[in-house]
Structure 1
Amino acid sequence: MQAVTIDGTPMHYAVDGPEGAPVLVFANSLGTDFRIWDRVLAQLGGRFRTVRYDKRGHGLSDLGTAPFDMARLGADLEALLDHLGIESALVCGLSIGGLIAQQLVRDNPSRVRALVLCDTAAKIGTPEMWQARIDAIAKGGLEGLADAVMERWFAPVFRATRPDELALWRNMLVRTPAEGYAWACAAIRDADLTADAARIAVPTLAVCGADDGATTPETVRALAAGIPGAIYREIPDAGHLPCVEQPDALVGHMLGFFRENGLV
């Protein structure tokens, strides 16, 4: 188990793959820990030096001082890169992880060689939607939201054919600290990186599951359209977590993108 204290907050991370290989950093979605990338790492087959971490208030990482915002989450990732002695990396972010990746390239573009933005946007949802979710958590915890979240996370075929696994992903969600989840919701609520997306100057791939009920294909296509030179790819039979449902397809798009841009 690997840990580092950032801004007074113990945070959990993992580094895998050969030294000297291109560094690929993964940032997780809301209500998950870094195990969502396990199948992606298996598909990558040791081509990269990978870094995964649990953002504050998720997984094994502490919450730290709340409230926190997207700038704090971006700074956490940059501090982790500093701790590991990584000057720049390929960065793949999913959902809120995609916002964190955009925040990092906004605040310090030299740290990012390229972006893979999965099932995310420059602004996700409306402030009213996120406030309603925060209020619902305060009233009834995460259990009351879990079934609706599963419908957004996973395609119908996954929910119908893999019920045992679905139950475990549901457990991951409901066992996330409610305060950590709620403050992450507030960070998303207050984040709008739309203007900053137009200034992104690194190669960018935007990917979306065709059945994503959280950040829809239309939303992710709009993100790609707002980033100069970005390309968009869609993955059939996947919802909000293509890294779980269709890791081979996601990795195929990532490797093709990296090769086309001379990054590997």
Structure 2
Amino acid sequence: MMLVWLDDLRLNAELAGPATAPPLVLIHGLGVDLAVWDAILPCLAAHRTLRLDLRGHGQSDTPLAPYTMGALIRDTERLMQHFALKDAVVLGAGEGGLVAQGLAVKRLDLFRSMVLTGSATRFGNPDLWQRRIAGLTDPGPDLEAEAAALLGPRWRGMATAGVVQQMLSRTRPDGWTGVAAAVANTDFYQTTATLTLPTLILAGGDDRKTPPDMQRETADLVAGSDFHLLPGGSHLAMLTHPQPFAAALNAFLKRIGHV
């Protein structure tokens, strides 16, 4: 891992795989960090894989909240340019899927295709998010409730519970409220509907945060996209169901010739 110095902040990133391999960019969602991809990373060894910590998360710098979606998109854009990655497959999880969608509209020249998991074109209305931001500010995030949203109601008995709790506890207060503020006013329904690039929607069958039907709506929105259901998968299916997740992802990458 390395801290990449940008104009206004440092972002933590990890670049793995052969220098000449086809690039794959992994963007996590609210409250977690790049460790969410640990379980599938060995299955992606044939790719040049960039994963990053969003601002306010993991080991990246934490500017004062609030953040804008434009800033989050620009952060990923600058990292891709820093590492000279183009013609990439960009995979966004949860709120990170909004970053992927926004970047695809802004910089389609950097994309080969897009993969979304646990994502949507928007996550609730601004009023809902303002209430959530108020709770994240005082008394602060309820880490048990956050873990339940990500893993499901039986999360305490899951092997991945400890990993998720560690990621949630590492996220700083301004990271929680900053990214939440960026998501609150983001609605990419109209812009994502203009995309025509190859797209895969990987939906966990037991995703309580972004139900499969909501994810299927995004698949229906993007012309020619594929929808793949992972039976029993949580919102963090890449962590709880890494083998079927990686198998579906690699099958898609092979189908589009990104190997």
The TM-score normalised by the length of structure 2 is 0.95
The answer to whether the 8 Å contact 1:155/1:238 transfers is no
- How far is 1:140 from its partner? 0.7
Aligned partner (choices 236, 239, 242) of residue 241 of structure 1: 236
Aligned partner (choices 154, 178, 185) of residue 151 of structure 2: 154
SS in structure 1 at match of 2:113: strand
Separation (CA, whole Å) in 1 of partners of 2:70 and 2:238? 25
Report the equivalent of 1:135. 134
The answer to whether the 8 Å contact 1:155/1:239 transfers is yes
Amino acid at match of 2:42: A
SS in structure 1 at match of 2:20: coil
- How far is 1:12 from its partner? 0.5
Separation (CA, whole Å) in 2 of partners of 1:26 and 1:217? 21
- Is 1:87 equivalent to 2:86 in the alignment? yes
Separation (CA, whole Å) in 2 of partners of 1:157 and 1:235? 18
Q: Which runs of 5+ in 1 are unaligned?
A: none
- How far is 1:152 from its partner? 1.7
Matches within 5 A, 1:35-54: 35-44=35-44, 46-54=45-53
Report the equivalent of 2:110. 111
SS in structure 2 at match of 1:140: coil
Matches within 5 A, 1:113-262: 113-142=112-141, 145-155=142-152, 159-162=156-159, 165-262=160-257
Separation (CA, whole Å) in 2 of partners of 1:3 and 1:20? 22
The answer to whether the 8 Å contact 2:105/2:191 transfers is yes
* 1:164-211: CA deviation from partner (whole Å, max 9, x where unpaired): x41341232133101111110111111110001111121000111111
SS in structure 2 at match of 1:39: coil
- How far is 1:127 from its partner? 1.4
User: Structure 1 residues 58-67 or 31-40, which shifts more?
Assistant: 58-67
Report the equivalent of 1:20. 20
Q: Which runs of 5+ in 2 are unaligned?
A: none
SS in structure 2 at match of 1:91: strand
Give the percent of matched residue pairs that are identical in Structure 1 and Structure 2.
Answer: 32
The answer to whether the 8 Å contact 2:199/2:225 transfers is yes
The answer to whether the 8 Å contact 1:114/1:203 transfers is yes
The TM-score normalised by the length of structure 1 is 0.93
Separation (CA, whole Å) in 2 of partners of 1:195 and 1:240? 24
SS in structure 2 at match of 1:25: strand
Separation (CA, whole Å) in 1 of partners of 2:156 and 2:213? 23
Report the equivalent of 1:4. 4
The root-mean-square deviation of aligned C-alpha atoms, in Å, is 1.5
More helix by share: 1
Separation (CA, whole Å) in 2 of partners of 1:102 and 1:37? 19
Equivalent residue pairs, number:
259
The answer to whether the 8 Å contact 1:12/1:54 transfers is yes
Separation (CA, whole Å) in 1 of partners of 2:223 and 2:109? 17
Separation (CA, whole Å) in 2 of partners of 1:198 and 1:190? 18
Amino acid at match of 1:53: L
User: Structure 1 residues 169-178 or 245-254, which shifts more?
Assistant: 169-178
Separation (CA, whole Å) in 1 of partners of 2:237 and 2:144? 18
The answer to whether the 8 Å contact 2:148/2:155 transfers is no
